[in-house]
């Protein structure tokens, strides 16, 4: 990990937690921040360690996960540039975070961040709203894991990831998949074989096409054929 300390305006670390809706911040108070890079497949945060710092992803993709008692890994989310790697309100990291690709992030000391929020209720409210959105997303994911069929889980993942990957611009039919099929399987509570079979079946049905960059969805950009098969 490589780091350089510098002054960063507050608005540069204001968007969201792991995929929530970004919000605008016009405050220009500066904090001491550190630019840090992590190689692919390296550990960024470890579950249960003291949360002394806040990280905001600026490049690359990361996965957030917890280890189960039997040694299995359950991925609980994926982070993209602009996302915080966990909430600043917890004293210990609630999950581990690994870099999927090479990752760059900004590291902020937690206490100055919280001091700022306490003195600026409007920003505190926005941060709490982002945390609530994360809770709602986790609840929806739990419902999918508990009630969805294997095919519904994979299709819903592709649909939701398409929305996340395109959140800063127009949705496209090419859905990039920086994560491996093992990562997708660990997120959906499935085996790699099941994920691969379903994606192959969707390709045979001409719903999508597998490319070196990800998945090319068939049909119109506004409503690809995948949407028609979402619950079938």
pLDDT of residue 12: 46
6 vs 118, more confident:
118
Give dist(CA 167, CA 144) in Å, integer.
Answer: 22
pLDDT tens-digit profile of 156-206? 999 999 988 876 555 788 999 999 999 999 999 999 999 999 999 999 999
Q: What is the tens place of the pLDDT at every residue in 73-90?
A: 999 999 999 888 877 888
Phi, psi (rounded to 5 degrees) for 209: -135, 135
> Could you tell me the pLDDT band of residue 18, with boundaries at 50, 70 and 90?
low
Rounded CA gap, 148 and 151, in Å? 8
pLDDT at residue 232 is higher than 60: no
| 3-class DSSP assignment, residue 5 | strand
Phi first, then psi: what are they for 78, rounded to 5°? -125, 145
pLDDT score for 229: 67
- Quote the pLDDT of residue 164: 86
Residue 8 pLDDT: 45
User: Are 75 and 183 a contacting pair, CB within 8 Å?
Assistant: yes
Report d(CA 24, CA 6) in Å as an integer. Answer: 22
Task: State the DSSP code for 91.
Answer: S
* Mean per-residue pLDDT, 25-37: 60
pLDDT in tens, 104-155: 998 888 888 888 778 888 877 877 787 787 788 888 888 788 878 999 999 9
């Amino acid at each position: 990990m490589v780091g350089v300390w510098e002054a960063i305006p507050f608005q540069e670390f204001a968007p969201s937690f792991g995929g929530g809706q970004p919000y605008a911040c016009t405050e220009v108070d500066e904090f001491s921040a550190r630019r840090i890079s992590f190689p692919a497949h390296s550990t960024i945060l470890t579950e249960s360690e003291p949360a002394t710092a806040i990280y905001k992803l600026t490049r690359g993709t990361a996965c957030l996960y917890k280890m189960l008692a039997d040694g299995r890994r359950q991925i609980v989310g994926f982070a993209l540039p602009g996302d915080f790697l966990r909430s600043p309100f917890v004293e210990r990291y609630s999950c581990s975070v690994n870099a999927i690709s090479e990752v760059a992030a900004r590291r902020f000391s937690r206490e100055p961040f919280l001091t700022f929020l306490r003195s600026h209720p409007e920003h505190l409210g926005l941060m709490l709203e982002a945390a609530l959105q994360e809770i709602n997303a986790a609840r929806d994911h739990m419902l999918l894991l508990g009630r969805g069929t294997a095919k519904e889980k994979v299709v819903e993942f592709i649909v939701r990831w398409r929305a996340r990957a395109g959140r800063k611009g127009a949705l496209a039919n090419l859905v990039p998949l920086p994560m491996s099929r093992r990562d997708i399987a660990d997120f959906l509570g499935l085996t790699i074989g099941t994920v691969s079979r379903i994606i192959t079946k969707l390709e045979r049905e001409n719903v999508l096409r597998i490319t070196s960059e990800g998945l090319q969805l068939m049909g119109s950009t506004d409503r690809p054929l995948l949407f028609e098969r979402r619950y079938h």
